[in-house]
Structure 1
């Protein structure tokens, strides 16, 4: 990478980390702390966990398209301001309903697709996979740090302290956008030429490769939200770990997960076997869910937790890069907006529907449903994964021209 690309990728990875840290910190907490609030139920807790995904999903495509028209930076700053407002409301809430409102407003700052589009805008084609991998790794690190920091902050100041810290992170992210992120080299003419947005939208919604990737990220985040409705309880009941010590468990399993993630990345990038590595990541996630759905045998729970983080972290880092290599720069904001919409729809469905199913089927029944989704994804992805992960952008989507459906 040249100096401009290094500064761009580092600053946007930091920005993405701030935002995802604020979202991820509540994952290991809501199922435990929200249960003490008036009127709490598994259904409402699940809705509080996943509702941000609904507002994210509704706004990712409009904001992705808007960023293609007016530029990435104004959209990102506006999204961070909305994220800060939602975090403040959730921090001041004294009921589950207040947290649901705050989480919904957090999700209205729907800038994930726009940030990834800016990464792609400001890196050359031959450096784009590396850039996406770095941003993806920052998301994984934010996820790791959030699972540790969230319980620590909550043990000191409760759930409200976690939301107030999220406000600070959102404001810090605005500072990064205004002071650190370089100006985009993409010309205003490039944004204007996306006037053929109907063509790009039709392409993004009909291309078989993008459809498979979008379905995959929906399933991945459904599983993530549903899993964190049951994992905290499994730690308490199955492993006898007090909630104040949960961060120690997450620290151990996430750090150890690097022993599985790094070999998969080496096999995909240096070994030239992306299809096999992707399939292995899905198989690992499926095995983890099978172990978590089994009777609560401590050794199997520990192994299942480790494998879960191996599979999730690898797949989360890989999927955005595959999307960015399937479309041109001129329509990348739209395509990544659709991708992020599917991602957050999965988060909403996993939290809201997962809460309902948890009340009816119990933790093991919900884990079995997630296992079925993971196996279905594996069957869906395998036939065309070689074409998607081959590394070259399709000729029809070369820089400077819109893809044709």
Structure 2
């Protein structure tokens, strides 16, 4: 069970995710349907507008993650929320598709996904991190469900400008949540020399980066085609929100047993591979068996069941594989690939849809997912962590305690009581207990 402090920490961060992701997701179900009201609009340019925030996000995730390692998580999240609000205002006042694209790019400059992920990792023990990431994944699912309801309703009443004004308000509301509800991160003990290069040398991290690129490429490309697909085959655009809510809720509930049993029985990789395979099947069937809104509903259920599982698993693995001292940088690289995938999926999906129609978009997604499936077959899930509590001998200074972070197999060192107690999270495969023989210690 997640300790009370961790729940108090993760719940407001999940709320912050909801505020931010609502702003991003509300445009998904409406931009391809209502965006032709902008001067100069075309399917290809609306696809660029849909994915444009991913372009600046991809560029800035690493700098934001690196700076959060240096200067703290909360200051960087504050800057990101202010930039996102400014981009929302710019998009709200735009009257051309090019102004809309500029606003979306500025929204993306608030590149705080990597910082939020690192913050969650700071505030949770490794053995609870998948559950914490699942809670974040659930909050994203809630945001997605609300967005798919609110997006059409707000657009019907106030136009697309109303959606962007609402996202600006949500971003500014997130500042209050950040500074008055989210707790400060505990102190992490860092080594004297930080090995930034390990982020770029680790093959497991690269496999995870490729995975999140593919997942968000497919998400954005699918939502270029899916709203038009549903409308063409009998579901009016005004009723789309009535479909999205039950599909999102039921698919999340269907995913939970697989995630829980996978963790308990050591079947995480099997579930991971199965979820990717399910996404491939969904895209193939959508492209092959066109002609029914009911098929679209069933395929959306399968899509989001797999998507929710993968969205929770991928960042959890990143936080476990990356060293504690460069976790912000690692999540920055990961998030850059995530948003590069969103940009590429939105732009490519718009171009392919305009030129070749639904089937080609779904075929493109299936091809991307098959390539990911081949990479994922070689993915190694992180080993379960061991947590140790150390009683520090009297008179031992902070420099000596800091050396704990350099021992082989040590993933994270945390001061609980700066006078006497330190928590270690270690990889049992590479850690030698004799290295801490001078301390009184036990498994926490």
Deviation at 1:73, TM superposition (A): 0.6
Q: 1:33 and 1:395, CA in 2 relative to 1: closer, same or farther beyond 3 A?
A: farther
| 288-297 vs 221-230, greater mean Cα deviation | 288-297
Instruction: Answer whether contact 1:69 1:194 (CA < 8 A) is retained.
Output: no
Provide the rounded CA distance (Å) in 1 between the counterparts of 2:104 and 2:410.
37
Task: Quote how far apart the aligned CAs of 1:38 are.
Answer: 1.5
- In structure 1, what is the equivalent of residue 282 of structure 2? 288
Mapped to 1, the partners of 2:245 and 2:235 lie a distance apart of 14
Q: What's the counterpart of residue 381 of structure 2? A: 388
Shift of the alpha carbon at 1:390?
4.1
Partner residue of 1:321?
Answer: 316
**Offset at residue 141 of structure 1 (A):** 1.7
Give yes or no for contact 2:121–2:129 (8 Å, CA) kept in 1: yes
**In the TM superposition, what is the alpha-carbon distance from 1:220 to its structure 2 partner?**
0.4
Residue 183 of structure 2 corresponds to which residue in structure 1?
Answer: 182
Match of 1:270 among 264, 267, 270: 264
Q: 2:336 aligns with which of 310, 328, 341?
A: 341
CA contact (8 A) 1:43 1:355 kept: yes
Local SS of the residue matching 1:383: coil
Distance 1:359 1:153 in 2: 27
**Inter-partner Cα distance in structure 2 for 1:77 and 1:277:** 36
**Pairing 1:212-251 to 2, within 5 Å after superposition:** 212-238=207-233, 240-251=234-245
Greater strand share, 1 or 2?
A: 2
RMSD: 2.0
CA–CA distance in structure 2, aligned partners of residues 288 and 247 of structure 1: 21
SS in 2 for 1:261: helix
* CA drift at 1:244: 1.2
**1:361: which partner in 2?**
356
Q: 1:194·1:331 contact (CA, 8 Å) conserved in 2?
A: no
Q: CA deviation at 1:368?
A: 0.3
User: Do the aligned partners of residues 194 and 345 (structure 1) sit closer, same or farther apart at CA in structure 2, a change above 3 Å counting?
Assistant: farther
- Contact 2:268–2:381 (Cα < 8 Å) also in 1: no
Which residue is equivalent to 1:171?
172
- Change in CA separation of 1:233 and 1:194 when aligned onto 2, cut-off 3 Å: farther
CA distance in 2, matches of 1:133, 1:262: 9
In 1, the alpha carbon distance for the partners of 2:303 and 2:131 equals 24
Q: Name the CA distance, whole Å, in 2 between partners of 1:391 and 1:209.
A: 16
2:255 alignment partner, one of 249, 256, 261: 261
SS in 1 for 2:357: helix
Question: Could you give the per-residue CA deviations for residues 33-71 of structure 1, whole angstroms, max 9, x where no partner exists?
Answer: 112221111111011000100100100000100000011
Q: Residue 96 and residue 271 in structure 1: after superposition, are their counterparts in 2 closer, same or farther (change >3 A)?
A: same
**Partner of 2:321: helix, strand, or coil?**
coil
Provide the aligned length of Structure 1 versus Structure 2. 394
- Between 221-230 and 28-37, the greater mean CA deviation after superposition: 28-37
Q: Of the candidates 273, 283, 288, which is equivalent to residue 279 of structure 1?
A: 273
Report the counterpart of residue 103 of structure 2 in structure 1.
102
- Provide the C-alpha distance between the structure 2 equivalents of 1:395 and 1:147, rounded to a whole number of angstroms: 47
Q: Which residue of 1 aligns with 2:438?
A: none
Relative to its length, the structure with more helix (as a share) is 1
Higher mean C-alpha displacement, 9-18 vs 252-261:
252-261
**1:11 — aligned with what?**
12
- Corresponding residue of 1:20: 21
Unaligned runs of 5+ in 1: none
Which of structures 1 and 2 has the larger relative contact order (alpha carbons within 8 angstroms, sep 6+)? 1
Shift of 1:19: 0.5
Q: Which runs of 5+ in 2 are unaligned?
A: 387-406, 414-423, 428-444
SS in structure 1 at match of 2:412: coil
Query: What is the CA distance between 1:124 and its match in structure 2?
Result: 2.1
Q: Distance in 2 between matches of 1:295 and 1:42?
A: 23
- TM-score, normalised via structure 2 length: 0.85
> After superposition, what is the alpha-carbon deviation per residue over 1:212-240, rounded to whole angstroms, capped at 9, x for unaligned?
100000000000110111001001102x1
Secondary structure of the 1:94 match is coil
* Deviation string, structure 1 residues 18-44 (Cα, Å, up to 9, x no partner): 101110111111111112221111111
**Following TM superposition, by how much is the alpha carbon of 1:194 offset from its aligned partner in structure 2, in angstroms?**
7.5
CA distance in 2, matches of 1:395, 1:99: 50
1:4 positional shift? 2.5
